[in-house]
Every structure is written in C-alpha cells, then in structure tokens.
Structure 1
Amino acid sequence: MREPGTFDAVIVGSGFAGSWAAKELTEAGFRTLLLEAGPLLTPGDIPVRNHRRDGISSGPGDWQSQRIQHEHPAFLERGPHLFVDDGEHPYETPAGLPFYWIRGMQVGGRSLTWGGTALRLSPHELDAADLDGCELRWPLRYRDLTGAYRAVEEMMGLCGTAEGMARLPDSSFRTRGGPLTPAEQDFQLGYRATGTRPVPVRYIPDMPRQGEWPGHTMQATALAAAIRTGLLRVRTDSVATQVTTDAQTGLATGIRYVDTRTRTVRHARGRVVFLCCGTIETARLMLNSRGDRHPDGLGNSSGWLGRGLMDHPVLYADGILDSYPPVSGYDPSFRQSGLLVPPPTREQDNVRPFGIWANLQRRTEAGSGAPLGFFSAQGEVLPYWGNRVTLSERRDKWGVPVPVIECRYGSHEKRQYEAMRAAVEHAATVVGLRITAIAASLTAPGLNVHELGTARMGSSPGTSVLSSENRCWDCLNVFVTDGACFPSAGWQNPTLTIMALSARAGRIAATLLRESTY
C-alpha cells in the first residue's frame, strides 16, 4: 500500500531528462512530482536565438556575479537572466585546472538556452572498442534506442534530411531546414573524403508553439504533455539535498529538499526516483546521499560514482570568403544553418572521430562587408578515471557540500586537436576560405556545456553505477537519465540521446510501477 502523500515518482530537475521522464510516467497514469531548483519563467523571458539583446553591455566588469557564465559565447544572446549567479552557486577546481560550469536554474532547465543541434549516436559509438586504456562500450545497442529516438524527434519537430550515412543515422524529420548559401553549395559539391560528405545541419527549430514557448523548450514539448495529463505537480525553488533510503532494504524512499522561499527542509516521498539535475549536480547529489547501505554515496559500490567526467572539446576557425559576394536573407545562426561533415568511416591517427560544422557566407565583416566563413570541429574527451567530481568540506547556503570538479585533457585530446586542425584547414581550402583566426587549443573543459559521465552505465555493478536501463545497480528504484549516465561521449551533441534515454527509462519505470510493490 502506498503511504498517504507519497507520489509514484519523484523527479529532480525539469530540463531535457526530467521533462521526458515526467511525460512518460504521467501518460502511463502515475502521479509524479517534479522538483526544480529555480523559478517558473514566461515565454517573454526567452529571447530569439542569435539576436543580441539591446541595452546589455558585454564588458567583463559588468558581470562580476557571473564571471564564469559570462565566458559562454551565447551568454549575451540568450540573456544573463537564464544563467546562474556564480557567487550563489559555488564550486571548486584544483589550481591550474579550470572548468567552466555553465548552468541555468529554471523550469525547463537548459532547454531555454541550448543551440538546438539534435544528432543520434551511431552504432559505432555504442559499440566502440577500448582506446587508450579506457573502457568505452555502452551496455545497450543502437536498436535499443531507435524507438525512443523516433518518439523524441517527432514531438520536437526535427529539421534535416535523410542521407543514409553510417556515422550519422537518419532521423524522423519534419522539415528540411533552410536553404544553403552559394558558398555552402560549392563546399558540399567540392568536399571529398572517404565515406563521408557534408549534409545540412540537423536541429530543433525555435518557432513558437505551446503558449508561445519557443519550440526548442520543454515547455513547448515534453513538459507541456506531462502537464496536460493532470498527474504532474511541479514544485519550483526546491533544492534537492539528498536521496533518502530505507535502512533495511537500501531502496530509495524519496528526496530531501530545501524550499528556498521559506528556507524549510522538506521530504518528498516516491516509489521511484529519477535524478535529472545535470551531470555534475547529479553526481553531487548521489555522493551526498550516504547511509548505512550506501556509505560512499548512493550507487558507489564500484567506485565509479563521480568519475569519468567528459566534455566535447571544440576547435574554432574564422575567415573571409574572398571569392564570394555578400548575400542576404539567410539564417546566420551557427548551429541552425549551414552544413555538417560527419566523420569518415575509416579511423585516423588513433583518435576518436569528430564532426565539422560549416557556416559560410551568412555573415559579413564589420566595416568591409566581406562575407565570412566559420568552421568548428567537435570531438570527444575520453572517460578518464582521474576526471571527476568530489565533495568539498565547504558547504553552500543550503548546507550541501560544494562540488570539486577536476578535469584535464590527456594525450588523446592533444592528438585530436592536431587532427581537427588539419581537417579544418583542409575544409577551408575546398571553398577558398582565407583563415584569419584559428584556435591554438581546444576549448577549455565545460565551455561547450556538454558535461557527461560521473554515473556511467555499464554491463556489471563492479564497473559502473547504472544498468542498461539507467537503474542504479545498488538502489534499483533510482534512475539516472541525464548526461551523467554516458559511459563515453561520442562526437555528437548529447541532448537528443539524453531525451531518448530518459523517455526509454520512463517507460521502463512505468512497467516496474505497475508490477512492483515499491
């Protein structure tokens, strides 16, 4: 029998993972509580992508309370109010190892600020063999995700084209996206490599939908669907501090959290718990959830909790297209227009595959009006044991230990930079781009806002935190479906996979709730 006041499911975090878990659980008929650390916003709080808001200064001295968040390239375009105050949400890093933890705390999470790129992982990433001593294999196969991928893509309204490429599986597309510029058309025709070719970017458009919410937000899609069931309760301004567990069974009983408006500690009881608060926050919450049955943190019997932290490092190059005239009327956004070059099918130089994005002839140089071109290559950090999240003795204003983030690039990433640079320089020659600036190093860890790992999925409890169903080996009624669950990163942007994994896990949890006595 369920205790009075107990929900079927308690979810921490209302972003991509939390909203999709809520959708699946409520549509299956289960009463669900969604805890969100931040406030509820309105559609008017979300600016149009890639349009810098008037009246906002860009000087670093103007953002002393957001010095870390200000480093993100889209900080001003998306709006500083959608990023956290660094002073109120501290973290620590070892000397000489900066990590830029870019965060947004509000209902919908980072769906309010993301770029919209939506790519499936391919069988290659899910079946990848060992490299540099790192165990990379996922515990599920591509066929296990295809149904969830399709469900997410159809609801989100993915733009793109079917291409039949091994390293970039086709998706369910609603539209083709915008037209290519003359320079992009020439690049597409002229680029030659073994087993790959430039294809139109794949993205979620931001055209307003539910209640004028931009289409890339959870309020316009999964979260809206969950609310329509009448079975979802959302509690804002609620900071989760600990997963509570039963002393005898070790199973989760709910979430202890702080109501930040009243500064009171409360307890939300649930038959199952979903942790969807973001890779680093999820690791912190699990590490802080110690008990007699979980002395080193919830799910840490393998020792992998907090370890294997990853990001997607990027190399940028800008230049001038001397042989092309300026044009107008094309979408200038970087990841919502132009071309994507998937990795070739052959392996190269003992580095993991990476993709290249091309945005050509869509912007002009200030003053001269010359058409500009931009390339970026995005690769993969390996899940090193030493890249990790631990807890400091210092505590934040809500009494939770501050996370310590330790992340460094290794020899693989150094080789990857060289391979990326050579590939981008070659791509520039194809279209006659005169490179005027190219990054001397990969972006610093964290700046791409693709932090992954720390509660990895795996095939056994001795080498991982989660099973192939995203269930915690040591606490089977706890699911982790945000980026923390990734055992390896792949080169693709992770958001589509996070949503698909969460939708799949939500359906699994619904089946367990029907059959179990949790």
Structure 2
Amino acid sequence: MQDERQVVVVGSGPAGAAAARELVEAGISVTMLEAGTRFEPGLLVRSGGKNLYRRTPPLQEEAGHSVSGDPQTLCFAKLAPGGLSNCWTGAVPRFAAEDFTEGERLHERYRWPITYTDLAPYYEKVERSLDITADRRDKPQLPGGYAAYDRRIPEDWEVVERAANRHGQGFTVYPLADGPPTMLVRRGTAFNSFTNIVSPLLKSSNFRLVIGAHALSLEWSPEKGKVDGLLYHDRHTGETKRIEAEAVIVACGPLGTAKLLHNSVSKDFPEGLGNSEGLLGRFLHDHPREWWAFEMERPRKLLSPPAYLTRLPYDTSPPLMATSWTLGVANLSDRVRSRFGQTGTTVGVQMIGTMIPTEACVAKPSATKKDEFGLPVLDVCIRYSDAEVDNVVRARQHLLKVLEEAGCRATIGDVVPTLFPGTVAHYGGTARMHAKPEYGVVDAWNRVYRAPNVLVCDAACFTTAAEKNPTLTVMAIAARAATRLARDLKHT
C-alpha cells in the first residue's frame, strides 16, 4: 500500500528533530525513522542554576565500520531516540561570521556557500527552544544570541577577560543548553532532541514516528529523476520494508549519512547517491580535543557554569587553524561547592582544535567487510597532521600566558592523551556543501546536487569546522533547509 507521507526524515537527533519541526509547523506530513528501539534513561540533578550531578547513558562504538587511518580512531554512536543528544555536553556556541569564509584564505573549496547572516534567524529560533544559559552580549569570535538565562563570569575572573581582550579574544560564560535553574529528570542532558522536540510532534496528525527502523538505502527512480522511496530494516520484526517519499532528509550523523548514501547505488549512481564527483565521504574532519587541569596559586570563584576563552583572531594564525578553551570545575566535590559560591584552586580545561579537511580523510565502503545486513561496512580513514596536533599543544602555553598576564599564575597537571580522532564525536564533512558541485555533494540548501529531493542536514554537510561545538549550527542549518523544502513542496 502506498504511503502518502510527503517527507521522510532519517534520524531523531538534533538535526532530524529540528528539520521535522519546521516541516510539521509548515503543514507538511513527515514520517521519521529512528534506528534505536528505546529511550535510555540517565539522571540530571540541577539546583541554583548549576549542574550538581549528571549521569548519561554510555556511548557505544558504532557497529558497521572499520578503521584504516589512525588506529586509535573512535567512532561513537548512540542508537537511541535523540541520538547523541542523550550524551552531549549541551554546548551551543554560534559560529562567527568569519568561520564561514576563513577557509577561502587557503582555497576556494573551503568557503561555505552560506553566510552567518543566512543562519542568524534560524540560530535564534533554535536557541529559543533550548533553555540556554549564556552571556547575551557579543564577544570576540563569539556572537551573542538568545539566552533564557543571562549570566556573567564571576568578578574575580574579569581580569582574565581583560587580558584575553588584549589578545583579541573573548572570555565569557560558555553557552550551554542547561535547562531551567532547578531540574530533576531521568535523562542525562537538559536538552534531548527526542524529549524536547520529537515527543511534542507526536500530537500532530502530520507526524509519524517509526522506532527501530534502520535505514538501508534510498531508492532512485530514473523515470521520475528523483529518489521516490527508502528501504529500512524493522528491528522489531526483522523484515525489510519500503516507504515512499516525496523528499528525504538524511540526518543520521556524518558517518551514518555517508554509509546510507554509499549504500544507495543504482545504474545512475553506481558509486553511491550523489557521488558523481567522487566527493561522497571525503573531507571527513573532527576536532582534536584534550582535557587537563591546572592549579592556581590563589583561589578564585569556582566556574560553574563554565567559562569560555575564544580563539585568537584568524589573522594571527595559519588558515583554518584555531583553538578554544573551556574552563570549569574539575571534580564532583568542586561541583557541589560551586553551588554555594565557594572558591577553589583547581580548574578543568577542555581544548578544542581544528583540522583542515582533505580528500585523503575519507569514509568509504569497505572492499572486504560486510555488516549485519550484508552491506559494506564503512571504512573510516582519518588522521591528524602534525600541524593540527601542534596547534593544540601550543595552545596550552597560550592559556597559561593569558592567565599570567591577568596575575593568575597556574601550572598544568597531567594531560589526558586524547589527540586522536573521534574522542569528541564531532565528525563532519562527508557530504559537504559548496556553491560548486566540483567541490561539494550538496548545495547551499542542503540538496544533493544530482538528487535534489534528498537533503543532508547533519554535520556531514559542513564545509569546514570551526573550533566550536557543532550542534547549534547543525540545528540552524537543518531548520533553514527544511523551511526552504516546505516552501518548495507547497509550490510544486
């Protein structure tokens, strides 16, 4: 029996949820396929605007992949409604305007086909649904946005902000989707895309959710010149089923999206849907990340919520090379003490660096291994260059320099050795967007160039990666693409 739903959305993570919401609000019928079979509980205890305890469901290494680059590469996934929003930090910084253009200093292929101005209204719309705690003011390299709870860094850290400003950097409260000041919920994150967005959509007659539906391939119709259906494995019955679609939004994570498109072969697309230029899966990138703590000579107010030191201006660094620093409490004891405004000398630091995407970093079908469905597993080949690792290592000393200039002498403790791909689960770029098809798989509206009724709306579409958590930008891009899709469907 033909399914009359117009749009199929694959994935209930932040990207899929944001896209589905826009479509349903526009009156478009949506069927969402979610590979996970059940929601996994966690625990979040929040009081006085501070997270006192947080237990998230464990991440799993993604099945159906192999590694041929850095042997330490990790490929995390969360096959559960809400995807990685079950486990994320809640970090929601906006990209800066220059983050979309900086890559052009290196080559045309690294310029995004969209601008900050294009995304700004969608940033705000998404932010209004996230219960964000942040400083609403613009800071260097970090545009201000809508925050439900306006916060400032503690007064005794303002000297660090002034020192950072002298380097052209900002130092501010880290934007976090932390929820209301008081929470006790049986999930590990304040914002979960399934709980906060998808579940309310179930009240609409225009929305249908299929749980345990593992997408296998998109079906191309040469007669219609478009994708007209999708095959999925029903984890409850073990059957392979087909669903018809007027359009498909793919949002199953940069690795999952690459695998689905690679699996979608036909006479017109023998190497995978949209892979006419051989770019599908290429330009894979991730954030080099490390965590450590430093000890200060004198105590200062414990940083809860965390503080954020923005990157140096791009003109002080090689193209696309940047690092940001997040400073916060380092242990459970300090987390509890921060609730009462106490001071401490130990500060935890997470550093996020960047990498330059290249064609050599690729997620492609394995020539020898098959998954549980008899399809090629995804071979992940990614490795950080020496320059990308050195960029993060040098950033340690820059932070100490800023602190010392602020009269806050500090020494670094043990550095956790995590400078290998996948530790932060920020993959992107496998179906990158670009204004020209010779440099991108999708266009500025996320439409696959030779199959424009298929939209890639997760971080697979990223042209480059800024030194920021990608989630807010992913959701804004997905909302923008879905808004255009709804308009196109209504006028077709």
Q: TM-score scaled by structure 1?
A: 0.84
Q: Decide whether the 8 Å contact of 1:100 with 1:446 is kept in 2.
A: yes
Corresponding position: 1:198 with 2:198: no
In structure 2, relative to structure 1, the CA distance for the partners of 1:370 and 1:331 (3 Å cut) is closer
In structure 2, relative to structure 1, the CA distance for the partners of 1:107 and 1:323 (3 Å cut) is same
Per-residue CA deviations over 1:431-454 (Å, capped at 9, x if unaligned) read 222222235x66210111101111
Corresponding position: 1:465 with 2:441: yes
Cα distance in structure 2, aligned partners of 1:484 and 1:96: 20
The partner residue of 1:29 within 27, 30, 49 is 27
1:167 is matched with which residue? 141
In structure 2, relative to structure 1, the CA distance for the partners of 1:210 and 1:108 (3 Å cut) is farther
Q: Decide whether the 8 Å contact of 1:181 with 1:360 is kept in 2.
A: no
Q: CA deviation at 1:399?
A: 2.5
- The 5 A counterparts of 1:64-463 are 77-80=55-58, 83-84=59-60, 89-94=63-68, 96-130=70-104, 135-177=109-151, 180=153, 184-207=157-180, 215-324=190-299, 337-345=305-313, 347-350=315-318, 352-359=321-328, 371-392=345-366, 393-429=368-404, 430=406, 431-438=408-415, 443-463=419-439
Corresponding position: 1:512 with 2:488: yes
- The 5 A counterparts of 1:471-482 are 471-482=447-458
Cα distance in structure 1, aligned partners of 2:250 and 2:446: 10
- For structure 1, the 5+ residue unaligned runs are 54-76
1:492 is matched with which residue? 468
Cα distance in structure 1, aligned partners of 2:52 and 2:334: 17
Counterpart of 1:78, as a letter, is: T
Percent of counterpart pairs with the same letter? Answer: 24
Q: CA deviation at 1:51?
A: 6.9
Counterpart of 1:41, as a letter, is: F
Q: Decide whether the 8 Å contact of 2:274 with 2:441 is kept in 1.
A: yes
In structure 2, relative to structure 1, the CA distance for the partners of 1:346 and 1:389 (3 Å cut) is closer
Cα distance in structure 2, aligned partners of 1:495 and 1:165: 20
Q: CA deviation at 1:23?
A: 0.6
Per-residue CA deviations over 1:354-406 (Å, capped at 9, x if unaligned) read 2121226876699xx97311223212111111000011132211223211000
1:56 is matched with which residue? none
Q: Decide whether the 8 Å contact of 1:160 with 1:203 is kept in 2.
A: yes
Q: CA deviation at 1:492?
A: 1.4
Cα distance in structure 2, aligned partners of 1:162 and 1:249: 48
Cα distance in structure 2, aligned partners of 1:197 and 1:507: 33
Q: CA deviation at 1:108?
A: 1.1
Q: CA deviation at 1:211?
A: 9.3
SS in 2 for 1:461: coil
Q: Decide whether the 8 Å contact of 2:297 with 2:345 is kept in 1.
A: yes
Q: CA deviation at 1:119?
A: 1.0
- For structure 2, the 5+ residue unaligned runs are 336-342
Regions of 4+ moved over 6 Å: 49-53, 208-213
In structure 2, relative to structure 1, the CA distance for the partners of 1:210 and 1:314 (3 Å cut) is closer
Counterpart of 1:100, as a letter, is: L
| Segment drifting more, 181-190 vs 397-406 | 181-190
Q: CA deviation at 1:465?
A: 0.3
SS in 1 for 2:240: strand
In structure 2, relative to structure 1, the CA distance for the partners of 1:48 and 1:483 (3 Å cut) is farther
Cα distance in structure 2, aligned partners of 1:255 and 1:411: 42
Number of matched pairs: 475
In structure 2, relative to structure 1, the CA distance for the partners of 1:45 and 1:195 (3 Å cut) is closer
Cα distance in structure 1, aligned partners of 2:31 and 2:333: 49
Q: Decide whether the 8 Å contact of 2:163 with 2:402 is kept in 1.
A: no
Q: TM-score scaled by structure 2?
A: 0.89
Q: Decide whether the 8 Å contact of 2:42 with 2:56 is kept in 1.
A: no
